[in-house]
Chain A
């Protein structure tokens, strides 16, 4: 599976939008883009995923570049409970394994 590149850390003020970037320049045409987050002292949990089109769910939005070489996870109004490590992962349709990497540690400032 192709690898992703994310900033090590980001900060955001509470109640402001947060844009978490991810670069995946070697993505293949059938790779899905998944985002997971890991809250302190917990295992990672699913946030959102997409293939080509932008996606929205109750937790976040996923904006995918037209060339698919990058994507952005958008938290519309950061809360203190959003402080976590966010992982951007690529997986093919037949790929059972995820490569998590080190993710982006998000700090939310009250």
Chain B
């Protein structure tokens, strides 16, 4: 069974703290993604990575950074958390486009982050 796991389902942090959200996939996928989901705004792409140590900005990268040191792991970093980063964060992975026209994205269960 394919699996994308995220380190926490719920997380509460204080303003100014450094926050790490971890995502691990076991499908040997090249692509990994971080989204945030807010009511009325749908899923918005923060960053994605198509290879180890490679990253591309998505639609809303401001206030975030990412790290991909190993193929199976993609971390989202909030350098100094702010209250407007309170959200649901979803990680996903997929094969590299062009390998298959299918390139289905597999999602983790999400991390609900609250910044106080």
Binding site for B on A (CB under 8 A): 32, 36, 41-46, 49, 51, 87, 91-103
Contacts and interface: CB of A to CB of B under 8 A. Distances in A.
A34 to B, nearest CB: 8
30 contacts: A42-B107, A42-B109, A42-B110, A43-B4, A43-B108, A43-B110, A44-B90, A44-B107, A46-B104, A49-B102, A87-B42, A87-B43, A91-B97, A93-B101, A94-B98, A95-B97, A96-B48, A96-B50, A96-B96, A96-B97, A97-B33, A97-B45, A98-B45, A100-B35, A100-B43, A100-B44, A101-B43, A102-B40, A102-B42, A103-B42
Given A43-B90, A44-B43, A101-B42, A96 B103 contact: yes
Given A43-B108, A43-B110, A44-B107, A93 B43 contact: no
B61 to A, nearest CB: 13
B42 A97 contact: no
B94 interface: yes
Range of interface residues on B (Cβ < 8 Å): 20 to 34
A99 B41 CA distance: 12
Nearest to B45: A97
A2 to B, nearest CB: 15
Summarize A's interface: helix, strand, loop or mixed. loop
Interface centre among B4, B104, B109 (most CB of A within 10 A): B104
